[in-house]
Amino acid sequence: MPIRLIVGYGFMEHGFAKLGRGVDGFAHILQAIGMPFSSLLAWSTVLIEILGGLAILLGAFVALASIPMAIVLIVAILTVHFPNGFSSIKLQSFGPDGAHFGQPGYECDLLYLAGLAALVLGGAGPLSIDRLISHTLGRETETLPHQGR
C-alpha cells in the first residue's frame, strides 16, 4: 500500500502541476524537444498522470494502468532526463535565498518504474479495488451451478 500511495500521488501531482501551469505550455516544451503531435501528447500525458495516478492510488486496474504510465516515464527518460545523468539532485550552489539545483537526471523516473513493476508483479495489495474485484468475481464463480452435473 505505501508504494501505491506514493506512486499514485506522485503521478497525480505531476499531472495537476502540468494542468495548473497550462497544458499548452507543456505542449510547447514537447515541441521544442522535437516530439510530434505535441498538443495531443501533452494532453495524453496529463490524463495518464492524473487518471493513472488515481487508478494506482485506489489499486484499480493496476496492471493495465501501469502500461501507459511506464511509457510516459520511459519517454521522459529518453528525451529529457538521460542527458542529465542518473542523479535527480544536483546541488549547484547555496545562497541567501536557498539551494539552487541543476537539471534532474533519470533517478526518480527509474524509482517510479520500479514502483510500478513491484505493483504489477506483487499485486495492488489487500486494501485495493483490484483485490475487491478479484474476491467478488471469485465468490460469483463459486456460487454458479456446475454445468453437466
3-state percent breakdown (helix, strand, coil) of the chain, nearest 5: 70, 5, 25
Q: Which pLDDT score, from 0 to 100, does residue 139 have? A: 64
Question: Which tens digit of pLDDT belongs to each residue from 125-138?
Answer: 888 999 998 888 87
Backbone dihedral angles phi then psi of residue 101, each to the nearest 5 degrees: -115, 150
Question: Which tens digit of pLDDT belongs to each residue from 94-118?
Answer: 989 999 888 888 899 999 999 999 9
Which residues, other chains included, contact 86 with Cβ-Cβ below 8 Å and sequence gap of 6+?
105, 106, 107
